[in-house]
Structure 1
Amino acid sequence: MNRAIVVSRAEVAADCARQLLQRSVDMGHRRLSVARARSALALGVVLTAEQVAFCLSAARAIDDTEMIDVLAGAISSSGVPCG
């Protein structure tokens, strides 16, 4: 019998968003990382401490006050140290 792995579109989208965000962080792309973090969060992705820290720094650098507030909230709710 052939067993198929069933993955929802939402799971695929979230996984893609997570991978794209990590790639942007790894490459040091500030604006793109902030945009991808916004998309990832909208899809329910839980950001790593590294991603939050990088994107918060990037959001501050580009003066994205909305994203600063979102990421600061993620830090306070997760216990990730804010720097």
Structure 2
Amino acid sequence: MSSEDVSPSGQDSDPEALRREARRIAHDLNNMFTVIVGSIDGAMEEILTARQERMLKRAQEAVRRAEALASELSKHARGKGG
């Protein structure tokens, strides 16, 4: 088996194995995003300077975009992307 036949986790690169890996990655990313969003929301409840508030709002937007990408990954992994 060549290195091209193996996914990063060492599994065969057959389509079903890749879909399972993509679903696992999307699930793990969503778990991390939940923690990040909770932390940002908690920080937003504090007294902030205008600069801190702008930075947190940019972080919130970045997480929203990342969540959308993880959702797309999950859809593709289930064969519903496109």
Q: Which has the higher contact order (CA 8 A, sep 6+)?
A: 2
Q: TM-score, normalised by structure 2?
A: 0.34
* Bigger radius of gyration among the two: 2
Q: TM-score, normalised by structure 1?
A: 0.34
